[in-house]
Structure 1
């Protein structure tokens, strides 16, 4: 079955971060708001990134093969360059994966609650996305046994999860995915660098697992849009055929190489961020706010009416992620920032208790 034009009824996914149009409607600017809604490293990228950007030639086309960055990723993860595809952020790679793996009418499982682009990518590919939703009563632990029993041809999983921050252990995923070699797993590890210890699926080098990573989050390159996928060479090659030319600009490529080369900066800033996340969640819990235990610096807080609560905080110049779009209308997601900014947030929460 061939694909037609995408349906105009496919809704856009809701995302966090600053929305300039929304702020302007409220008489605010981005400078008036402290953003706790996007899980981007607030300590910024490695200093070597700025130096790399200064050396980019702006009147020259980008390397369409992203050769230097591809080699850097392959070297860092101990894989062949044929197993790596660099993309314009994780979202582009997720779309390429859906368009490559799924045929019209295919069933795809999405382990929810989770990032909205998985469902959108499946619908663009004219596949049938089905959410297998973990329950709040079970602390959002997914039912992995049901996945292996499902007839779905693909599974989309964010690990650690967005928005819950929960991590499924690598051994558990390896066991389930090996039971169905005909089922392709697309594992989004955008938040993997925020974990206390590495738990990536990349090392498995399994024939039915595609891992997608982002440099937006812990590496703080959100403005540049760059990520990469690692998987079987045949799948990577097929995804490359769907990718537009010059998808990743020269500044993003140079910045990514520099960021990946500075592991000391990454670990130092992530350690600080994890401490701040722990301090914030402990303080809120002591103050009576229900907190969901997490494996990441970001975490969920139950506030009642999440949409109204977000609006109240925005009036105080604080932006949080309303989790209603994840199907969690009672929760907001908090991504820690620098200590003084976090103190301001905690004071605002105390005022609203």
Structure 2
């Protein structure tokens, strides 16, 4: 039998009875709607009203990932550096790697190998299904998001919880995740909490939690949620389907798909184009656009000089680039480095309004597991 409509359920008699009935129905409907909003994400536990969907992280589903196979090609998926040059914003002398809005990445070569010819197949890469694919054969690799403590009751900060949903591309590679503390220069200074987990079979998704994290007794407001792939000598890929930072622990799964995303966070931009290799000279200055860089240009911008016809060829990994009052200054220039002085290059940049690196691998207490 079809359920009666609201008008069919109105009581007979005085108008006052009908008004009271409608008031009760509206109140009940409003309560149901409030509970539905509170339960976004499929969990019936009561959420803290200060935390959207129960997740403090933004873009928890890694949408808008920088796909190195498209757009700007493999040239933005293959850092060369074994260490960072603090005096240069050249992408080839940096450990910062583009990832997706609200997330940053660091990639550092190991064993003295500044470049692997096939690194283009081991980059941050979005795949069908809403996951972020990352591989780090011969490279240390960490994914991070900087966050500040929420303005909530201090007692609740004693029970923070980290969450990740992972999938192995090869079976049992290890992943370390958790929280690190940042100093006033937004550099990682030490672990607050961390956990190492292992893959559970090829292409098997699994959930992991790190509970009872106390963030209540620190004077520093800046932290970073991180995910590090430990077994960088293994060639297979790894996948992360979601991440969370919440006030509730196991088995609570925070909102993933509908968290806030800052789509204006990251930007590729063309600085200049059509420059022959023979035209690159020492102390060359190129006009450079202005960007908001509250933590210094090096922490927000990287620049790459690339062959305009090939996505993977750079002019020289030795060129030092620095932003001055006059523009982008190039020093240690080797014109015609690639062997053809008539080869034509473009100068491109990548900007993020958040920190592009936290110097994770330089932490005093970092230990390669």
Question: By the TM > 0.5 criterion, same fold?
Answer: no
More contact order relative to length (CA 8 Å, sep ≥ 6): 1
State TM-score, norm by structure 2: 0.20
Higher helix share: 1
The structure having more radius of gyration, on CA atoms, is: 2
Higher strand share: 2
